Structure 1
């Protein structure tokens, strides 16, 4: 990053909720600001951690590092703001002035401390760009959490398959089956494998399946779409993401037609995936396929049709670049979702989603945790 510029260093300040900072440090705590400083003169990366977190910082930032960068943890000046500690680290490295690269989201006070110390700040998106191509270790993390995600989906499908209908309402284990019951059962599977639901288990039934982020409580009726979107976060910080849509005792009407259209759109989008392909092309192919089945290709949320982009990158953030509706060349090592959908606020929604790795090998992608697709739930997967 510094080698291609005339900058003297790089600084970022944030907390454990800052995914870019976690990418740089692999440090998972605390929830108050700390600083990361990289100095090109000595090729040294420094984590200014709170004193009580020194051992954790040593383990996560240094011991588990897989690169050859010289790393150190500093716990001096723990009572000072993170921006001041960053200035002190730069000065200790012999950098008393010059140009410092910072990400756009660096806190305002940290930027002021750096400027007041005499540094010229220059914004960079280098880390954001670098995050798009995953390392083998990152791919391993994503694959593991996606496998657990698939186990959660299997539990949901099993419950739906076991449910019975009474007066139009599905029943399971002696009671009415609701989206909340299904959500709790999925989350229990995730938790037993050490994966956190992170509040991202979205389940809609009937009209609420047209709500892209529904986490409320609805009784599940026979014949309506049940849309299940599971996006948990593993202990390493990486996310999984999978969506399936099921119908119990459907009559083969709107729900079946929408499912066929969405599955065709998913397959059409997957066929486009390969290094060098423009990401926007993937979205265009998916939308065209949905249009071919008579559904609106472009719709606003709350309208009938395809209301969102076809996919996005996944990593330490659930939604990160590349975005499949934007003109960005796909590259080997990128991990993206492919998730076309069709929605009708009065009838429900259908979405199918795969998490895929872009590869140089044919066919140009790999589904990280394959899971069967079927509108009718079955007992065993």
Structure 2
């Protein structure tokens, strides 16, 4: 359970973290595609360079420990048309932690990745609805929220999604977890991802593609109750559209 001051610290950290995703979108949208790889004015745009840019943006917004990881395809430069996952686990000045992740695709074909985004968007909405029910007085556990998210993803045809729901605060994973009930005043992370592991229509290399979305939610029971997304995540896989 978080005090009002602790929840305010989470919100401030979430706002600062949003600047990192803006930076990632700007770097990816502003580059060029050369022979299927991403480049910018400084040369090949690698996962490490993108992570350092995002971390610098978070640090500039007051984040004590940015902790940014980028998962993409290609060691010399990230690949166009393939998912680039930007995963942030920042720590604020007071030791408060949150988690957030978004997936970008530069010059995507709007196929598998788009279906994955739609599935994850629907799944996160279902998770937020279940958390809202907890604020309305229903008995809801973290495991039940995870089950709702998982069921929504599989309804879109994605088998065996990775889904976790747990608390966050001074540790990266706190209560509620598993069979523990969700309550007003808590801060909860909903993480979900899908992979192409079983897709026989593409090369073996592409079966490692992953689309991952993670959001931190502040559960505030005041004024009728609300499930607040504390990090302003993008709304599109396309970096250029994410900046609109």
TM-score tier (shorter)? 0.7 to 0.9
Which residue pairs with 1:369 in the alignment?
A: 231
Confirm or deny that 1:312 pairs with 2:173. Answer: no
Higher relative contact order (CA 8 A, sep 6+): 2
Inter-partner Cα distance in structure 2 for 1:218 and 1:135: 46
Which residue pairs with 1:178 in the alignment?
A: 46
Inter-partner Cα distance in structure 2 for 1:371 and 1:259: 13
Inter-partner Cα distance in structure 2 for 1:197 and 1:283: 28
Aligned CA distance change for structure 1 residues 371 and 308 (closer, same or farther; 3 Å): closer
Inter-partner Cα distance in structure 1 for 2:195 and 2:238: 19
Q: Which runs of no fewer than 5 residues in structure 2 stay unpaired?
A: 198-206
Which residue pairs with 2:111 in the alignment?
A: 253
Deviation by residue 1:27-49 (Cα, 9 ceiling, x = unmatched)? xxxxxxxxxxxxxxxxxxxxxxx
Confirm or deny that 1:240 pairs with 2:98. Answer: yes
State the 1:283 CA deviation.
0.8
Which residue pairs with 2:202 in the alignment?
A: none
Equivalent residue pairs, number: 228
Q: Answer whether contact 2:70 2:85 (CA < 8 A) is retained.
A: yes
Q: Answer whether contact 1:222 1:249 (CA < 8 A) is retained.
A: yes
Which residue pairs with 2:85 in the alignment?
A: 227
Q: Show the 5 A alignment for 1:139-218.
A: 139-197=7-65, 200-206=67-73
Aligned CA distance change for structure 1 residues 366 and 308 (closer, same or farther; 3 Å): closer
Which residue pairs with 1:321 in the alignment?
A: 175
Secondary structure at the aligned position of 1:355 is classed as strand
- 2:147 equivalent among 274, 284, 289: 284
Inter-partner Cα distance in structure 2 for 1:243 and 1:280: 21
Q: Answer whether contact 1:165 1:171 (CA < 8 A) is retained.
A: yes
Deviation by residue 1:63-84 (Cα, 9 ceiling, x = unmatched)? xxxxxxxxxxxxxxxxxxxxxx
Deviation by residue 1:173-215 (Cα, 9 ceiling, x = unmatched)? 24111111101101111222331335x3121014x9xxxxxxx
Inter-partner Cα distance in structure 1 for 2:3 and 2:104: 34
Q: Answer whether contact 2:162 2:192 (CA < 8 A) is retained.
A: no
Secondary structure at the aligned position of 1:340 is classed as strand
State the 1:330 CA deviation.
1.0
Deviation by residue 1:345-369 (Cα, 9 ceiling, x = unmatched)? 5241111122111122556411123
Q: Which runs of no fewer than 5 residues in structure 1 stay unpaired?
A: 1-132, 209-216, 298-305
Larger Rg: 1 or 2? 1
Q: TM-score, normalised to structure 1's length?
A: 0.56
